[in-house]
Amino acid sequence: MLLHGTDVLKDAAAAGHAVPGFVAYNLETVQGVTAAAEACGRPVLIQAGSSPFKHAGREALMRLALDAAAHSTARLGVHLDHSRDLDEITACLEAGYTSVMVDGSHLPFTENIALTKEAVRRARDHGAWVEAELGALPGDEDVSTDAVAQATAMTDPDQAAEFVAATGVDALAVAVGNVHGFTKSPVRLDLARLAAIHQAVPVPLVLHGASGLPVEELHGALTRGVAKVNVNAELRRAYLEAVRSTLPAALPGSDAVSLWASGRDAVRDAALEVIGRLTPGAETANA
Ligand code: 13P
């Protein structure tokens, strides 16, 4: 069923958990993420766009994700990830997305505020919530580049307070040392900065770039206001490794279905593993 509203983020934060936002590119990744949500009974966000739209096509991927969420027994939000384009945001809102991320992190502060304010205005008309980003995250969203964090691009707590007050945004993605994709050396978050941002802003925080993040860093973030955690590269890697190991047996009979199924199941298992990490101390499903 489609999951509306920000209560899910607030409840997760209050319980010391986080809601996972999993990036989905195609049928198998949408199916794998949906199956993980059904298996664990916890709320999950399918992040279908905007980079994956370049692969699958916007209409096709939007419909796929919305249909999977609407017909599932699990609580699934459908979220537009990293959009810089108000027309794209409007298209997703009109299609029924439950949340959107407007990414003005590349813009000067006042322009980021203006873009985010407009996205919030449009989302309100559709009952959707909005995530925005302040500070810049190193790395690529689709390919792991072993990027390293740039201290200068980190989110400033005072600016964050001003930004949230000026835009009315519902959730804020922060740059506190987090990096998109895998890195050779373990990422260390600036947890003191994260705590200061949490003190300064009244909305749930979002941690992008959680693939490969050491679990102690992740759990440190969960106790400092992070209520949504984005993961992409871990699912991509799981998919590719499963496909590689299935390929030799699939190739002689051109058995593409077994190949795609192995990728789908690997995405499900990887997503379940992430969900376990995001739920410190949870003993039962539906907690
Ligand atoms: P990773 O690239 O670390 O998987 O993070 C995904 C993400 O933040 C998507 O917005």
Please count the structural domains in the chain. 1
Percent above pLDDT 70 for the chain: 97
**What is the pLDDT at residue 146?**
77
* Active-site position among 11, 81, 170, 265: 81
Q: Facing residues of 228 across strands? A: 19, 206
Q: How many Å lie between the centroid of ligand 1 and the Cα of residue 136?
A: 13
Nearest CA to ligand 1 atom 9: 230
Pairing relationship of beta strands 44-47 and 19-23 according to DSSP bridges: parallel
Query: Is 125 among the domain residues?
Result: yes
Over range 100-126, report the average pLDDT. Answer: 97
Over range 29-49, report the average pLDDT. Answer: 97
Over range 21-38, report the average pLDDT. Answer: 98
**What is the pLDDT at residue 82?**
95
Bigger pLDDT: 31 or 185?
A: 31
The pocket around ligand 1, CB under 6 angstroms, is made up of: 23, 81-82, 141, 180-181, 208-211, 230-234
In whole numbers, what is the pLDDT of the chain averaged over residues?
A: 94
Place of tokens 């419909």: 63
Query: Is 284 among the domain residues?
Result: no
Q: Which atom of ligand 1 approaches the CA of 23 most closely?
A: 9
**What is the pLDDT at residue 284?**
42
- The answer, yes or no, to whether residue 187 has pLDDT greater than 80, is yes
Q: In which band, very low, low, confident or very high, does the pLDDT at 280 lie, cut at 50, 70 and 90?
A: confident
Q: What is the CATH classification number for the domain harbouring 174?
A: 3.20.20.70
Nearest CA to ligand 1 atom 3: 209
- The answer, yes or no, to whether residue 287 has pLDDT greater than 70, is no
Q: How many Å lie between the centroid of ligand 1 and the Cα of residue 220?
A: 18
Bigger pLDDT: 210 or 146?
A: 210
- The answer, yes or no, to whether residue 142 has pLDDT greater than 80, is yes
Query: Is 283 among the domain residues?
Result: no
Query: Is 287 among the domain residues?
Result: no
CB-CB contact of 56 with 65 (8 Å) = no
**What is the pLDDT at residue 169?**
98
Q: Which atom of ligand 1 approaches the CA of 213 most closely?
A: 3
Summarised one tens digit per residue, pLDDT across range 238-248 is 999 999 999 99
Residue in 111, 173, 84, 177 with CA at minimum distance from that of residue 138: 177
Domain membership of residue 132 as a residue range = 7-277
**What is the pLDDT at residue 150?**
57
**What is the pLDDT at residue 283?**
44
- The answer, yes or no, to whether residue 8 has pLDDT greater than 80, is yes
**What is the pLDDT at residue 282?**
60
Query: Is 50 among the domain residues?
Result: yes
Q: In which band, very low, low, confident or very high, does the pLDDT at 285 lie, cut at 50, 70 and 90?
A: very low
Query: Is 68 among the domain residues?
Result: yes
- The answer, yes or no, to whether residue 58 has pLDDT greater than 80, is yes
With 0.75 as the threshold, say if the pTM is over it: yes
Nearest CA to ligand 1 atom 1: 209
Q: In which band, very low, low, confident or very high, does the pLDDT at 30 lie, cut at 50, 70 and 90?
A: very high
Q: Best of 79, 179, 206, 232 to mutate for ligand 1, by most ligand atoms within 8 A of CB? A: 232
Query: Is 286 among the domain residues?
Result: no
Distance CA 33, CA 253 (A): 28
Over range 82-103, report the average pLDDT. Answer: 98
Task: Judge whether 269 counts as a catalytic residue.
Answer: no
Query: Is 228 among the domain residues?
Result: yes
